[in-house]
Amino acid sequence: MTGRRRLSPLISGPLIAVGLLAGGCAANTEPQDLRELKRAESPNDSLACPPAVCAAEADFESPVFTAAPEAVLQALKEAVARQPRTALAAEVPDPKQVIYVQRSAIFRFPDTVWLQPVALPEGSSVIVYSRSNYGYGDFGVNRDRVGLWLRLLREALAADLVE
């Protein structure tokens, strides 16, 4: 005996079924101009935006860089490419936007993340919006993701950061 406990069939059966069903859950990958975003009433999303750019209240202030908007977006895309269970869902030309789906580790629920670069008088930045596609709450997952992705972007473009 290894000391490992096994889940009873009454628990493991439904867990397996939910996992299989969730793996096939579709994600909302429709483009949307994040400057005009209306956030959900439920606490399962997170928004990062530079000051005075987004209509919705942001959870984080996006950093501003001296690099061009395309360079900021490219740096973030490279950082995101290293994130687990994350796939590029779409690239949209107008408004310029990249959309990702990142699935949860166990049940494979999809969260959609939109990235939209913005030109500013003092440089450029990016709007990041992450939201769960299913459920009411998300235990802070989207907020943690947006915070992490902003940190990775700051690290990638530290030399171009506007103070």
Query: Per-residue pLDDT for 7 more than 90?
Result: no
E strand segments, the chain: 45-49, 60-61, 86-93, 96-103, 110-120, 123-132
pLDDT of residue 67: 97
pLDDT band at 31 (very low <50, low <70, confident <90, very high): confident
List alpha helices for the chain, DSSP H: 9-23, 69-80, 141-156
pLDDT band at 24 (very low <50, low <70, confident <90, very high): low
DSSP-based three-state secondary structure for 48: strand
Q: How far is 99 from 77, CA to CA, in rounded Å? A: 10
119-143 average pLDDT score: 94
Q: How far is 45 from 32, CA to CA, in rounded Å? A: 15
Q: Which CATH architecture has domain 9-160?
A: 2-Layer Sandwich (3.30)
DSSP-assigned beta bridge partners for residue 119:
124
**β-bridge pairing 123-132 and 45-49:** antiparallel
pTM: 0.84
Q: pLDDT tens for residues 49-92?
A: 999 999 999 999 999 999 999 999 999 999 999 999 999 999 99
**β-bridge pairing 86-93 and 60-61:** unpaired
Q: How far is 121 from 60, CA to CA, in rounded Å? A: 20
What are the residue ranges spanned by the domains of the chain? 9-160
Residue the block writes with tokens 């096939």: 24
Q: How far is 147 from 163, CA to CA, in rounded Å? A: 19
